[in-house]
Chain A
Amino acid sequence: MKNKECVAMLLAGGQGTRLKSLTKQIAKPAVYFGGKYRIIDFPLSNCTNSGIDTVGVLTQYEPLILNDYIGIGDTWDLDRKYGGVSVLPPFMQAEGGGWYTGTANAIYRNLKFLNQYEPEHVLVLSGDHIYKMDYNAMLDYHKESGADATISVIEVPWEDASRFGIMNTDEEGKVTEFDEKPENPKSNLASMGVYIFRWDVLKQYLIEDAEKANSSHDFGKDIIPALLYDYKKLMAYTFEGYWKDVGTVDSLWEANMDLLKRDPELNLNDQKWRIYSKNPNQPPQYIAPQARIRKALINEGCRIYGTVDTSIIFYGVHIDESSVVKDSVIMPDVKIGKNVTINRAIISKGSVIEDGAVIGDPSPDSEITLVADEGSVLATSFATST
């Protein structure tokens, strides 16, 4: 078989502890977003829209739902005879084996997977971000510049720069220095966790890194610094557009609320760059005569009898009469009874909110309230942040 020019490796094994109970039973890339999606729909749809048809998904933490969700990849048109999507969990082998110990270790342990496609370049992605990006344009830039590695960066506000991995570059975009969460950033170009490597270079560094006893086997901490130390050519590729890390409850809530702005930066209705997602086969949503809806994204299978204001409603949600949902994200199959008030909250999948319950704090800047998976909230219990 002909070799593949570029194979993507999607790091999807992270727990995402800062998402609290949202990731108690599922891996972070499987967390719900935007009324119908899971986070992993974004990188996988970007791959298929960018013409990258071979993707290895590295799983480790709570893989059941993620494995089931990815299936044979047909949701993203990645069910291919040669290539397509492959789920790559940690495994045992003759010389031991065991868990993936870091992001670089996860790729190193799957050299056999990559070797079978003999790629020229490897695209490394993470399952933590919401963005639409043409990886093919980045690949073109990577090839034209003749780089050994290209790191996608985005300009962040200077005051936030110390929260990110910052790339310092020269005027041609060549990376001169990499600062992980610097106190006094010299640049505001943050790494997006999207890398393209020449496969021969990456392979060599992965093998060398695996032999270092004191390495944490991480791309940001070990591989990139090692490449810089050896004066390999690292280029920064500046991405313009919406990109959001949804690693915390607050940022996940914010990213959802971003969709409700007038002409949102992230356009989900773009027919040329669709975000694909598994379809739950639900009938159209029903909006009752007494319902009031203002600024909302609502999915199929919902029944709305109450008031929805500035909120994201996933599929199969029922909101009964005289209930008010404001500034909130309601995940799939949540049942909300009568006279319920919900403010600034994320209600996890399958929760039942009983008549008269009051959830969340309406004051702006208050912390976002989170109701855990299949939680049940009674009228008498005042749910606060968990």
Chain B
Amino acid sequence: MDRIAGIINLDHEQDMLDELTYFRCGAAVPFGGRYRMIDFAISNMTNSRIESVAVFARRKYRSLMDHLEQGKAWDLDRKRGGLFILPPDWNDPTDISRGDLQHFHNNIDFINRTLADYIVVSGSQHICSINYQDVLQEHKNSGADVTVIYKKVDELYPEHQRAHKLDIDEDNRVTGIHNDHSNTNVYMDMYIIEKDYLYELIEKCIAHGCAHFFLDGIKAKLPEININAYEYHGTHAMINSVESYYRNSAKLLNADEHDELFKDDAPVFTKVKNEAPSNYTETSHVSNTLVANGCVIEGQVEDSILFRGVKVAEGAVIKNSIIMQRCEIDSDAVLENVILDKDCSISSGKTLIGAPEKPYVLAKRRTM
């Protein structure tokens, strides 16, 4: 088996989830009842037997660092390799790099020191369950310089506007990378590349004053470099807005989508909170809902997602909503099409109703 090292590059990800990204980067946004967005990216690496992962963080990473700790939850507390959270504290007086190349340049030791021959680079906005060993096999068979991963989506949604799309010929070779919003081959911000070649491209990019490694180092080099396209077939969600977050969260209530994301042989790992099992009382009425542990439910919950430690008092009604960790919903409160960030409390009898296409979002620790 070939060794692969992973880089999770958050440098160019914009924090577009409104209230949910006021205090944290997109990668640290809670998702799916007990996870954070970045859990899916890291778990894919762990499940692909990647034992060395660097996270290029740029801003609002306090909550991310708190979540990741030493990487123990992902089996990345290793003597050799492991998890490296790399925030921007750089002091090289000769540094002329810009953009995410600052990250590549100042953390070049990570690439130099790893025993891996290949590097997988991923963002955190594409939720999926992918095995990079399979991608590597195809990459090696293709003889390409770089293999980029894409999803052929059934329908284009607004979130895909910001994604790059791929033109692909019959040999799976990429012939164009662009933003044309009629092409359904959505580039998933993931590629695999040989370590030595990555190193060479980084040097070139810095020498030419580039500020975006993928766009300037790879996309701009088409067609002189051979880019192979790997089609990912599983469940996929691109999340870069409140609207896409809300719609794709609801998809998890579908059993098939759920099973494709949470596979028995490729579990999604996250920080453990040691909550008790959730408690449903005599008055609870729960339907079509995902519930994490530590909840106490006395009221009515439909078509919703409850994160860990949520309390729903008797008489409260929650519909089509996402309620994050430790929120408390008091008696007879009504919530519909709402996203509550962590630690919110809704007092007795309050009503909050958002639009089905645009949920009402309440920022962390608010009381209504």
Closest to B268 in A: A283
Cβ < 8 Å to A, chain B residues 267-315: 267-270, 272, 274-282, 284, 286-294, 296, 305-306, 309
Question: Which A residues lie within 8 Å of B258 (CB)?
Answer: 283, 286
B277's nearest neighbour on chain A, judged by CB, is A35
Not counting A268-B276, A283-B262, a sample of 7 additional A-B residue pairs whose C-beta atoms are within 8 angstroms of each other reads: A269-B279, A283-B32, A285-B292, A287-B287, A296-B280, A299-B277, A314-B277
Q: Write the chain A residue with the least CB distance to B307.
A: A284
- B293–A299 CB distance below 8 A: yes
- Shortest B293–chain A CB gap in Å is 6
Q: Is B26 an interface residue (CB 8 A)?
A: no
B253:A293 contact, CB within 8 angstroms: no
Q: Is A262 an interface position by the 8 A CB rule?
A: yes
Note all chain B residues with C-beta closer than 8 A to A288.
Answer: 287-288
Interface residue B6 (Cβ < 8 Å from any Cβ of A):
no
**Contact for B290 among A74, A262, A285, A308, CB less than 8 A:** A285
26 A–B pairs (Cβ distance < 8 Å), ordered by A: A268-B277, A269-B294, A269-B296, A269-B309, A276-B274, A277-B274, A279-B274, A281-B268, A283-B262, A283-B290, A284-B305, A285-B278, A286-B290, A286-B291, A288-B287, A289-B287, A289-B288, A293-B280, A295-B281, A296-B279, A297-B276, A297-B278, A299-B277, A300-B34, A303-B255, A308-B280
Question: B292 to chain A: which residues have CB within 8 Å?
Answer: 284-285, 300
Contact partner of A281 (CB less than 8 A), chosen from B267, B280, B284, B294, is: B267
**Which of A279, A289, A298 is within 8 Å of B291, CB to CB?**
A298
A276 to chain B, nearest CB (A): 5
Q: How far is the CA of A337 from the CA of B306 in the complex (A)?
A: 26
**Could you tell me if B255 and A286 are in contact, using CB atoms closer than 8 angstroms?**
yes
B33 within 8 A of A: yes
With both beta carbons as reference points, the residue of chain B lying nearest to A288 in the complex is identified as B288
B290 to chain A, nearest CB (A): 4
Residues of B within 8 A of A269 (CB): 275-276, 279, 294, 296, 309
B268, B281, B296: most-surrounded residue (chain A CB, <10 A)? B281
Q: How far is the CB of A186 from chain B (nearest CB, A)?
A: 39
In the complex formed, the residue of B with least CB distance to A290 is B287
Contact between chains at B286 and A291 (CB < 8 Å): yes
Chain B CB within 8 A of A275 CB: yes
Q: Are B34 and A294 in contact (CB under 8 A)?
A: no
B291 touches A295 (CB 8 A): no
Interface size class of A (residues with CB under 8 A): 35 or more
Give 10 closest A-B pairs by Cβ, nearest first: A284-B33, A35-B277, A268-B276, A283-B262, A297-B277, A299-B277, A284-B290, A279-B272, A284-B292, A289-B288
For chain A residues 264-284, which have a beta carbon within 8 Å of chain B?
268-269, 274-277, 279, 281-284
| Chain B proximity of A184: nearest CB distance (Å) | 41
Query: Could you say which residues of chain B place their CB within 8 Å of the CB of A28?
Result: none
Known contacts A269-B296, A276-B274, A284-B291, A297 near B279 by CB under 8 Å:
yes
B71 CB to nearest A CB, Å: 14
Q: Are A287 and B282 in contact (CB under 8 A)?
A: no
- Which residues of the other chain, B, contact A132 by a CB distance below 8 angstroms? none
Within 8 Å by CB of B274, from A274, A286, A295, A300, lies A274
Option from B262, B268, B270, B282 in Cβ contact (under 8 Å) with A294: B282
Nearest CB in chain B: distance from A301 CB, A: 9
B253's closest neighbor in chain A, by CB? Answer: A286
Min CB distance B19 to A, Å, is 22
Chain A residues, Cβ within 8 Å of B261: 283
Task: Give Cα A312 to B279, complex, Å.
Answer: 9
Number of residues from B at the complex interface, CB < 8 A: 37
A→B interface (CB under 8 Å): 34-36, 74, 262, 268-269, 274-277, 279, 281-289, 291, 293-300, 303, 308, 312-314
Name the residue on A nearest B306 (C-beta): A284
B33 / chain A contacts, CB cutoff of 8 Å: 283-284
The residue of chain A having its C-beta at the shortest distance from the C-beta of B302 within the complex is A289
The complex places the Cα of A372 from the Cα of B278 at a distance, in Å, of: 26
User: A334 → chain B, closest Cβ, in Å?
Assistant: 15
Quick one: given A35-B276, A274-B274, A299-B277, are A283 and B291 in contact (CB under 8 Å)?
no
CB closest chain-B residue, reference A314: B277
CB–CB A293/B284 < 8 A: yes
Q: Which residue of B lies closest to A268 (CB)?
A: B276
Q: B288, A36: Cβ atoms under 8 Å?
A: no
Most chain B beta carbons < 10 A, residue from A295, A300, A308: A300
Q: Which residues of A contact B289 (CB under 8 A)?
A: 286-287
Chain A min CB distance to B291 (Å): 5
A287-B291 contact given A268-B276, A275-B276, A295-B282, CB 8 Å threshold: yes
- Specify the chain A residue showing the minimal Cβ separation from B286: A287
Q: How long is the Cα–Cα vector from A298 to B288 in the complex, in angstroms? A: 15
Q: How far, in Å, is B30 (CB) from chain A's closest CB?
A: 12
Query: In the complex, A210 Cα to B292 Cα: how many Å?
Result: 51
Contact of B293 among A281, A300, A308 (CB under 8 A): A300
Q: Considering the chains assembled together, what is the distance between the CA atoms of A90 and B294 in angstroms?
A: 39
Closest chain-B Cβ to A118's Cβ sits at a distance in Å of 31
B304 to chain A, nearest CB (A): 10
Residues of B within 8 A of A313 (CB): 277
Q: What separation, in Å, do the CA atoms of A281 and B289 have in the docked complex?
A: 19
Q: Is the CB–CB distance between B255 and A298 below 8 Å?
A: no
Q: Which residue in chain B gives the minimum CB-CB distance to A276? A: B274
A284 and B32 within 8 A (CB): yes
How many Å from the CB of A313 to the closest CB on chain B?
A: 8
CB proximity of A294 to chain B, nearest CB, Å: 6
Q: Shortest beta-carbon distance, B261 to chain A, in Å?
A: 8
In angstroms, Cα B308 to Cα A283, docked, is: 11
Q: Could you tell me the distance in whole angstroms from the C-beta of B121 to the nearest C-beta in chain A?
A: 26
Closest residue to B297 on the A side, CB-wise? A293
What is the chain B residue whose CB lies nearest that of A315? B277
Q: Which of B277, B288, B296 contacts A287 (CB 8 A)?
A: B288
| Chain A residues within an 8 Å CB radius of B276 | 34-36, 268-269, 275, 297
